[in-house]
Amino acid sequence: MNTPLRLSQEPVSPTIEAAAAHAEDISNAFRDLQIVLPPETIVRRDEPLARRTTLRVGGPADLFIEPSSDNALASALEIAHLRSIPLFLLGRGSNLLVRDGGIRGMVLSLAHPHFSRIELKGQRITAGAGARLKSIAHEARRAGLGGVEFFEGIPGCLGGALRMNAGAMGAWTFDTVEELRCMSPSGQILTLPAQEVPVEYRACPLLRTHIALGAVFRGRPDDAEVIRAKMEQFSKKRWTSQPNQPSAGCTFKNPQPTLPAGRLLDELGLKGARVGDAMVSDVHANFFVNLGQARASDILELIEQVRTRARELRGIELETEVEIVGEDA
Ligand code: EPU
């Protein structure tokens, strides 16, 4: 079994027969899940996803599961496999654009407290995939451990940060990871030393098929005051250089190390460009904000317009950094 955890970025248009067969698979899986999973596990149908993303757009998930244990997660994976249901792992939805038709398949969220623990022992910080990055940064600071200060202002959870090797303020998630704990598509738990896990700019390819359960970080002992000052400095930089309206963070990957996408779009005069309530932020041009009533289709249209401008005016092919999933309405 090797079900990818990421849905294709391209929406699919199923035939009527395929759509009917899918609806039946979903109904059967929903029934199986209710029988097999413990009562503490949340199992829902047609769960709206807009409120589970920071951009606040997108349609519902056919199935939404919040497992309460490793076993419950493994059982959900097994049912998805048996019923051939596509899987998608949702973090805090802070780097995600769900299309207006929502997600055809099973959306898994590790938001249950079982997956959100943070433990400190010596220089080691052990955190679950559902732990908030901000909480990890603050727990480490309290214990006088540096190295994860940059987590302070990232609005995501650890699982998402591991999957995309999230970075900010010149640091990357995997810089301080010592050990990764993950679940294979067949429900097997693996504990891997970080050296055995290849990572790239904004990606950890293993986590396209495996689910991150958590990680051990090796913190650097430091003066708690020094760590606090560093976090404050990061936070200040963020508040002055990034918008606070709903967004999914940076829309595009930086096309070159010396050419940040934000600067490029700014130079192209795109700040303030709008499609409906989707707008290129006038604070940081690589953030596309939702002014209130934007739909996913507005954001997608704005992304296309901006890519076209970058291509036509500078010959640069911009690649999205935000993860785009689901079906059109
Ligand atoms: N800039 C402009 N105009 C703008 C935006 C930026 O001229 O509208 C200039 C800035 O003045 C600066 C340069 O572009 O000289 C780079 O900007 P910034 O320091 O904000 O960094 P970035 O490369 O745009 C990256 C990450 C962010 C992360 C920041 C802070 C990517 C795609 N983005 O942004 O990550 O928060 O560094 O460290 O690598 C995200 O992943 O969602 C994200 C926001």
Residue 313 CA, ligand 1 centroid: distance in Å: 21
Q: Mind listing the pLDDT tens digit for each residue in 54-87?
A: 999 999 999 999 999 999 999 999 999 999 999 9
Selected residue with higher pLDDT from 1 and 272: 272
Q: In angstroms, rounded to a whole number, what is the distance separating the alpha carbons of residues 251 and 69?
A: 33
End-to-end CA distance of the chain: 30
Q: What is the mean pLDDT of residues 282-297?
A: 98
Residue 1, pLDDT above cutoff 80: no
From 237, 239, 250, 289, the mutation candidate for ligand 1 (largest count of ligand atoms within 8 A of CB) is 250
Range scoring the smallest mean pLDDT among 3-17, 142-156, 185-199, 270-284: 3-17
Mean residue pLDDT across the chain: 95
* Domains located in the chain, CATH noted: 16-113 (3.30.43.10), 116-226 (3.30.465.10), 244-325 (3.90.78.10)
**Percent of the chain's residues with pLDDT above 90:** 91
pLDDT digits (tens, 9 = 90+) for 91-111: 999 999 999 999 999 999 999
Q: Tens digit of pLDDT for each residue in 207-216?
A: 999 999 999 9
Q: What is the pLDDT of residues 309-320, one digit of tens each?
A: 999 999 999 999
Tokens of 167: 């970075």
119-137 burial, b for 16+ CB within 10 Å, e for fewer? Answer: ebeebebbbbbbbbbbbbb
Q: 260 CA distance to ligand 1 centroid (A)?
A: 6
Q: Is the dihedral of CA 185, 186, 191, 192 positive or negative?
A: negative
Which among 312, 328, 319, 240 is positioned nearest to 270, based on CA atoms? Answer: 312
**Per-residue pLDDT at 4:** 61
CA of 42 to the centre of ligand 1 (A): 37
Q: How far apart are CA 320 and CA 329, in angstroms?
A: 21
The CB of 161 under 6 Å from ligand 1? The reply is no
Residue type, 305: Q
